[in-house]
Amino acid sequence: MKGSILVISGPSGSGKSSLMQELLKQIPDSYFSISSTTRSIREGEVDGVNYHFISKTEFENDIDAGFFLEWAKVHDNYYGTSLKPILKELHEGKLVVCDIDVQGHKIAREKLGNFMTSVFITTPHQKSLKERLDKRGTDSDEVIQKRLLNAVSEMTRMREYDYVLINDDFDKTLMQLLCIARASRAKMTLMDSGEFLSQWANIE
């Protein structure tokens, strides 16, 4: 068996970050792929923990060098997932958890589709998403409106995912996400069936 990738997407404010944190606590042999971004660091965030905060020039150089599994430009900032640590963790058989937007999901699916299971997380309705963004208190009204518009666009792409979770109850959604994560590791596409059958039948 090889490792697998769990890609999680959803509108900003859907609760996906909190769900991923709990998921990583409950699955020991998992690895969270820390994305790189050119956006400014927010209060309470730590470089190398929440994101790798890099310059636009450095990001664009890495794009040209092919160092990203996927990348996208959102709200005038770049976001991307470095490929090198992911391949290392997959080789070690770990569950690699990635927080990727809908644009990046499409690129990642094309590159590593056999290893991937994808989940789209959203709120019950747009009103509850706005309430969560307002309550978070980290963005201006203008930025919140941009996030809501972007969320509408993201929602139209949710059919591209393997699973969709409506996060109206955190504990229930977490349980569903854990079930998906554990099941993703038993996908037939991850198995070398010929080698397994030979071992099963004790064929030398």
Domain of 100, CATH number, reads 3.40.50.300
Q: What is the pLDDT of residue 128?
A: 87
CB 87 within 8 A of CB 111: no
Write out 7-72 in H/E/C secondary structure: EEECCCCCCHHHHHHHHHHHCCCEEEECCEECCCCCCCCCECCCEEECCHHHHHHHHHHCCEEEEE
Sheet of strand 95-99: strand arrangement: 30-33, 95-99, 4-9, 116-122, 163-166
| pLDDT tens by residue, the chain, 204 residues | 478 899 999 998 899 989 999 999 999 899 999 989 999 998 889 998 888 999 999 999 999 988 888 888 887 899 988 888 888 898 898 999 998 888 889 888 888 777 799 999 999 888 888 888 888 777 788 888 888 888 888 999 999 999 999 999 999 999 999 999 999 888 766 666 556 556 666 655
Q: What is the pLDDT of residue 1?
A: 45
Residue 140 domain-assigned?
yes
Q: How far apart are CA 101 and CA 11, in angstroms?
A: 8
Q: What is the pLDDT of residue 40?
A: 92
Q: What is the pLDDT of residue 162?
A: 94
Domains identified in the chain, total number: 1
Residue 84 domain-assigned?
no
Q: How far apart are CA 148 and CA 99, in angstroms?
A: 18
| 174 half-sphere exposure, CB direction, 13 A CA radius | 15
Specify the pTM: 0.78
Residue 41 domain-assigned?
no
DSSP H/E element including 89: helix 83-91
Backbone phi, psi, residue 119, to 5° = -130, 130
Q: Are strands 77-82 and 68-74 parallel, antiparallel or unpaired?
A: antiparallel
Lookup result for tokens 């919140």: 144
Q: What is the pLDDT of residue 159?
A: 93
Residue 51 domain-assigned?
no
Q: Which domain holds residue 116?
A: 4-33+94-200
Sheet of strand 68-74: strand arrangement: 52-53, 36-37, 77-82, 68-74
